[in-house]
Amino acid sequence: MRFPNESAEYRAARDRVLEAEIELRRQAEAVAAMRRELPPGGVVPRDYLFDGEGGDVRLSELFGDHDTLVVYSFMFPRALDDENPCPSCSSILDSLDGAARHLAQSISLAVVAKAPLPRILDYAEHRGWRHLRLLSSADNDYNRDYHGENADGSQAPALNTFTRRDGEIRHFWASELMVAPRDSGQEPRHVDFIWPVWNVLDATPGGRDWSPQREYEPSA
């Protein structure tokens, strides 16, 4: 490809980046293939009961007509005097709300938070979320068991995938990069692949010099 008025220096440098991008794509696809080939994970220890907008719902019921369930743990503390919902999680869910109808063609998707359901639904209305299935885990151990909660009770972002085969529900995969060793200065990037903001910023000169906020000033 060529673009108007680009220099030979630019094209040579861009071609080097392109070679790296090709290798990155190759590696990303190879890792995705490795995930798909994972052996069965652990059997889910209990059929967790969540508080949902239509009433109580069990984990097994969240699958619906699908055999795969993806659950995002949203950092929204339970206590009224705790901090507000996590800005990063809010940004992620802004994007997932738009993607939810597309994902529903292949998988089931749910969002779980420790806060009571009325607080979650009020916040969802404020954000304009219309398509996410939002659940409260205030009265179960799901967050603790699947690393959406730390030992001290603080909340953590986590993405977990579950499968249902022959009536048995097993854990399939989780975003473990959050706690994995990383080089100095690196970000965890444990859920970046579902957070399109970072992917856009990675294509700019300024890169990731940004942090999400719950609210922004109106654009001029």
Tokens in use for 101?
């109808």
Looking at residue 220, its pLDDT comes to 47
pLDDT for residue 30 is more than 90: yes
Three-state SS at 73: strand
| Rounded distance between C-alpha atoms, residue 177 and residue 77, angstroms | 22
- State if pTM tops 0.85: yes
Q: Which fold has domain 49-176?
A: Glutaredoxin (3.40.30)
Looking at residue 79, its pLDDT comes to 63
First to last CA, the chain: 35
Q: Which residue has the tokens 């009433």?
A: 55
Helices (H), 129-179: 142-145
Residue-wise pLDDT for 32-53, tens only, equals 999 999 999 999 999 999 999 9
pLDDT for residue 219 is more than 80: no
DSSP line for 66-132 = -SEEEEEEE---SSTTSPPPPHHHHHHHHHHHHHHHHHTTT-EEEEEESS-HHHHHHHHHHHT--S-
| Rounded distance between C-alpha atoms, residue 110 and residue 134, angstroms | 6
Residue-wise pLDDT for 124-156, tens only, equals 999 999 999 999 999 999 999 999 999 998 899
Q: What DSSP designation does 193 have?
A: G
Three-state SS at 155: strand
Q: Which residue has the tokens 């404020």?
A: 126
Question: Buried (b) or exposed (e) across 20-55, using 16+ Cβ within 10 A?
Answer: eeeeeeeeeeeeeeeeeeeeeeeebeeebbbbbeee
Strand-pair category, 134-136 with 108-113: parallel
Determine what percent of the chain is predicted with pLDDT higher than 70.
Answer: 96
| Rounded distance between C-alpha atoms, residue 74 and residue 159, angstroms | 9
Partners of 135 in beta bridges: 52, 112
**Residues written for the chain:** 220
Residue-wise pLDDT for 4-26, tens only, equals 999 999 999 999 999 999 999 99
pLDDT band at 216 (very low <50, low <70, confident <90, very high): confident
pLDDT band at 80 (very low <50, low <70, confident <90, very high): low
Taking CA atoms, 196 is separated from 26, 93, 108, in Å, by 20, 11, 20
